[in-house]
Structure 1
Amino acid sequence: MRRTLRRAPRRRHPPAAPAQTRTERNALMIVVTGATGALNGATVEHLLKHVPAERIGVSVRDVAKAQHFADRGVRVRQGSYEDPAALRHSFEDAEQVLLVSTNNPHANAPALHSAGIEAAIAAGAQRILYTSHQAASNDSLFAAAPAHAATEELLAESGVKWTSLRNGFYTHSLAWLLGPWRETDVIAAPADGPVSWTDRADAAEAAATILLSDRPFDGPVTLTAGEAVTFDDIATRASKITGREIQRVTVPDEQWLTERLQTGTPEPMAHMLLGFFHAARAGHFAEVTPLLTELLDREPRTITAHLTNT
């Protein structure tokens, strides 16, 4: 665990308000953005198990949605990538800042993330962490990957210590990709490839462990489950779990895309999901690393467990 560091007291001439507490003004903190979301919200929950609440801050769009953290002593401030001034205020006294990647498919993600990086630097943060994605690269076939890669380039150029959490593809995404297989006994989707499906809750816990560790995690770190499986493998496991034969049917890309659009999937989302299959076929998500297991001190949740419990 990191020791709590102290800054020299700040002098006010004359004080405009009663003196602020050490917690509010002088204690260096871990500040987490996007804490009302599932990923970073779970990270805050894990942090609260190990450090005093007053050492944790959250930067959120809607402070009312973070009241459950404020009630437990977490510092809650409004901030968003679109409002740099508010963001700097929400990062005040931060030793480390965990930036969540934007989930707005229409936004210029690197520009928004740049605002977060600049605000963290202005606040004096000693390390910036960022929730990236496995196989982030500028030439990836998966639409979100180039934005992650561009953000990592910004972090590398920032002059501040940084860690990019390249999380494996989240297991809950299968709900968008497998189709209604429980009702139809068929997994109908484009050709795929092996993917190291990773539980989002495990990734959140690992992020908290890294934030609290004295071990340096510099640059990109890849966090994946312990195996990579294909949709054929998933169909086999689903058959064993349900006691029914679940068939894997390969659907042509364009047919699958057309069907998705006809059933109401927004066009940007449909194209992004199709890009997943292209990238999976190219092996972009097949890598398996031991780091997540090491950080959790247990085996990560498996795809079999996910299928059993959903």
Structure 2
Amino acid sequence: MIVVTGATGGLGGATVEHLLARVPADRIAVSVRDTAKAQHFADRGVRVRQGSYEDAAALRDAFEGAEQVLLVSGNDPAADMVGLHRNAVEAAVAAGAGRILYTSQQGAVPGNPYRPSDIHIATEAILADSGVAWTALRNGAYGPLDQVLGPWQRTGAIAQPEDGPVPYTDRADIAEATAVVLAGDRTFDGPVTLTAPTALTFDDLAKIASGLTGSTVKRIVLDDEQWVADQITAGVPEQLARLMLTWYQAARAGYFADAAPWLAELLGREPRTAAHRLAADWRAVGDRP
């Protein structure tokens, strides 16, 4: 049986949908905080059990019968995520899982200034010491592009701190590839990096955006502290702004620069590019044709 955590979230839920297209529903289970939110999976024959990383005993029950467990990483900056991930790994081991898969991050290596990297590095170390076969899916940046580009559609400018090349990746592609791995079509031991095929800078994206809009989208490089001050003025908590700043710092230092071939291999096609995503975002604003 394949058990997926976080199945009511974006990545976990999409992964389950792709699994349902590949394996019988009775081979799939989900461990979720609120079972009512997973009723749509139960209606299709998926086993739904309550479990959260805070409750080790519930997790052991939720993981019962698991051959593989997918641990979708948590992202609460106020929580002890390493400790919570340890709970999940230990529960999967106690349940007898043969392999644990974990949604890690591209560039999860020592020295990366992006603070969540430390969580992924520590969790991968826990997996390595677990005594169970494990896979760390080091996913490329797959959040909404406007999180890192800012409101370029409204302002006509990408006014952000200095950046570097990043293979911006589509979450839907990551979910599909994760399902492919879980379904057993390909096995990886240890870390594997899943990214779009090309790393782009904000200069590159500004040129793409200019082509979409028919007018020049400028790239304006902001001083780090000025950017943080602007974010605070806009209502973003300073702690969150400084956390996001470390992402730009990591990008400019090259920690996300390397694109990998594995996502395309798993999908059997070219992954969706940042250009495709920008075009979709542009059409969505104002329902453009």
Q: TM-score normalised by the shorter chain: which range applies?
A: over 0.9
> What is the distance in 2 between the residues matched to 1:139 and 1:111?
21
Q: Find the counterpart in structure 1 of residue 284 from structure 2.
A: none
Report the equivalent of 2:148.
177
Shift of 1:50: 1.1
Aligned equivalents of 2:253, 2:91: Cα separation in 1: 37
Corresponding residue number in structure 2 for 1:274? 245
Q: Deviations over 1:42-61 (max 9, x none)?
A: 00000000111111000000
Q: Which residue, out of 172, 175, 191, partners 1:201?
A: 172
Cα distance in 2 between the residues matched to 1:130 and 1:267: 30
Superposed CA offset, 1:204-224 (max 9, x none): 111100111254310000001
1:252 to 197, 202, 223: 223
Q: Distance in 1 between matches of 2:280 and 2:249?
A: 28
1:232 matches 2:203: yes
Q: Hey, what's the Cα distance between the residues in 2 that align with 1:252 and 1:166?
A: 30
Residues 196 and 285 in structure 1, CA contact (< 8 A), matched pair in contact too: yes
Query: 1:264 offset after TM fit, Å?
Result: 1.3
Supply the RMSD in Å over aligned alpha carbons: 0.9
For 2:100, the equivalent position in structure 1 comes to 128
Distance 1:194 1:67 in 2: 41
In the other structure, the counterpart of 1:296 is 267
Mapped partners of 2:125, 2:61: distance in 1: 25
1: CA distance, partners of 2:106 / 2:62: 29
Partner of 1:190: 161
Query: Comparing 152-161 with 102-111, which one deviates more in the overlay?
Result: 102-111
Matched ranges for 1:37-56 at <5 A? 37-56=9-28
Compared CA separation, residues 57 and 111, structure 1 to 2 (3 A): same
TM-score norm. by structure 1 comes to 0.89
What are the superposed Cα offsets for residues 150-174 of structure 1, whole Å, 9 maximum, x if unpaired?
00000000000000000001151x2
Number of the residue aligned with 1:30: 2
In the TM superposition, what is the alpha-carbon distance from 1:300 to its structure 2 partner? Answer: 0.4
For these two proteins, the number of residue pairs brought into alignment is 281
* Aligned residue identity for 1:170: Y
The answer for the alignment partner of 1:154 in structure 2 is: 126
Contact 1:199/1:225, CA 8 A, preserved across alignment: yes
1:137 Cα shift? 2.0
Once residues 185 and 214 of structure 2 are traced to their aligned partners in structure 1, the CA distance between those partners, rounded to angstroms, is 47
CA distance in structure 2 between the aligned counterparts of 1:268 and 1:62, rounded to whole angstroms: 29
- The 8 Å contact of residues 30 and 56 in structure 1, kept in 2 or not, is answered as yes
Bigger Rg, which one = 1
Aligned with 1:219 (options 177, 190, 199):
190
Q: Distance in 1 between matches of 2:192 and 2:95?
A: 25
Q: Is the 8 A contact 1:133 1:165 kept in 2?
A: yes
Identity %: 60
Q: 5+ residue gaps in structure 2?
A: 282-289
Determine the structure 1 residue equivalent to 2:285. none
Deviation per CA, 1:17-45: give whole Å up to 9, x if none: xxxxxxxxxxxx10000000000110000
Instruction: Indicate the SS of the match to 1:103.
Output: coil
Deviations 1:207-248 (A, max 9, x none): 100111254310000001010000000000000011111000
* Alpha-carbon offset, residue 294 of structure 1: 0.3
2:236 is aligned to 265
1:177 is matched by which residue type in structure 2? Answer: V
Question: TM-score, normalised on structure 2?
Answer: 0.96
Aligned to 1:23: none
Secondary structure class of the residue paired with 2:75: coil
Pick one of 280, 285, 298 that aligns with 2:256: 285
Map residues 8-87 of structure 1 onto 2, 5 A cutoff.
Answer: 29-87=1-59
Instruction: Tell me how far apart the structure 2 counterparts of residues 144 and 177 of structure 1 sit (CA, whole Å).
Output: 16
Asked if structure 1 preserves the Cα contact closer than 8 Å seen for 2:180 and 2:186, the reply is no
